[in-house]
Amino acid sequence: MERVTSTQRTPLAAGPARIDPALVDPATVPSSDLVGLLAAVCDIPSVSGAETALADAIEAVLRAQPHLEVVRDGDALVARTHLGRARRVVVAGHIDTVPLTTDPPNLPTRLEGTGPDAVLWGRGTVDMKGGVTVMLALAVELGRPGREPAADLTWVFYDHEEVEAARNGLGRVARNHPELLAGDFAILGEPSEAGIEGGCNGTLRVDVRTTGVAAHSARAWTGVNAIHAAAPVLARLAAYEPRAVEVDGLVYREGMNAVGIVGGIAGNVIPDACTVSVNYRFAPSRSVEEAEAHVRELFDGFDVVVTDAAGGARPGLDDPLAAEFAAAVLATTGGVPRPKYGWTDVARFAELGIPAVNFGPGDPLLAHKDDERLPVGQLAACRDALRAWLLGPS
């Protein structure tokens, strides 16, 4: 990537995507250019399904580190230290983003302001290339002579998180190489404003289908309008009151919302089919099976088809390592643990029996927003807190 020092950054030049090694050179620690590295990572577009260029660039950095064993599975990368420590910490983050916008474009990134108060704008700055940047910088630094961590480390950079769970790259690694994810504690670099967000809600997506009889719209009385038949579905959603559920001391807010509706084939045809897509975000105290039963009860009398489901994860802050990390973050950034409302792969680690928390730079309320942006001071805050805990007492 061409380095740009003004507040505007140019798009990547044609040719193989790469990351300037100087941006992650451990010789520059602690003044490594985290902002430049984040811009470089973001300016290599990696919408879900098109992560190869960024995976190639990250792989090149990781394979240049003699202290790391690197394994690639598709566009997922696992880099591990082998220092013989008594415990192993897994730090993971996804490298894909939701689609880009074009009007206005949210890539290439642009930097506004100077110093720690500057803000980097662009797709992925929050979700979650800020966390990926912190991971990449520390993966290079920790394990070098004089910077060995107190625990062995596993760094996981994976693909396809922003799409259906079946395509998730971390899930694929868990199926293909479960031994690579073994550990005593895991940290997801998901945006949490430099504080810990414990656990996560589960997510369930269903299609609620109605049927009718097609007819010419000039003779509507000879048909049955399937879109009109979906009105009760929307009415039930509008009247639905989501719960707030306390789980292990954190309060999770649920949600039930229509996220899409499809029906009709032409402007002069009474539609004979309509589908309302519904997303239910449920507290981690409820299983996927219980969530599905709840949705089917709400839409009793309609055809309900589950299209995607992933269970949540309890906070797990009572685990000794999680409590130790939470105390370290509180002392470093002042961040008090909060619930994670969105689904993250802490749930996948929970399924593997590994306690996990979310910790990364960025406001989660800006995730997937067209005006995604990151106060760059949070990059150093997260790096410093995570580094201090991983190095252990001096």
CA–CA separation, 128 and 131 (whole Å): 6
- Annotated catalytic residue within 141, 161, 190, 292: 161
CA–CA separation, 337 and 190 (whole Å): 14
Tokens representing residue 324 in the block: 């130790």
CA angle at 126 for the pair 184 and 101, rounded to the nearest 5°: 135
C-beta separation of 223 from 213 below 8 A: yes
Which phi and psi (to 5°) does residue 135 adopt? -60, -50
CA–CA separation, 94 and 115 (whole Å): 27
Name the strands in the sheet holding 273-282, side by side, starting at the edge strand that comes first in the sequence: 255-263, 273-282, 202-211, 303-310
Alpha helices by DSSP H, the chain: 34-42, 52-63, 129-141, 169-176, 226-229, 231-239, 288-298, 320-333, 346-351, 377-391
Q: Is 103 a catalytic residue?
A: no
For residue 11, count other CB atoms closer than 10 A to its CB: 13
- Annotated catalytic residue within 51, 75, 96, 141: 96
Which phi and psi (to 5°) does residue 2 adopt? -75, 125
In Å, how far from its chain's centre is CA 392? 27
Q: How far apart are the first and last CA of the chain?
A: 37
CA–CA separation, 311 and 345 (whole Å): 10
DSSP letter assigned to residue 132: H
Tokens representing residue 225 in the block: 């309008």
CA–CA separation, 287 and 296 (whole Å): 14
The residues, any chain, with a CB within 8 Å of residue 261's CB and separated by 6 or more, are 230, 274, 275, 276, 277
Q: Is 96 a catalytic residue?
A: yes
Cα-based distances in Å from 37 to 18, 180, 277, 391: 11, 26, 38, 22
Q: Just list the catalytic residues.
A: 96, 161
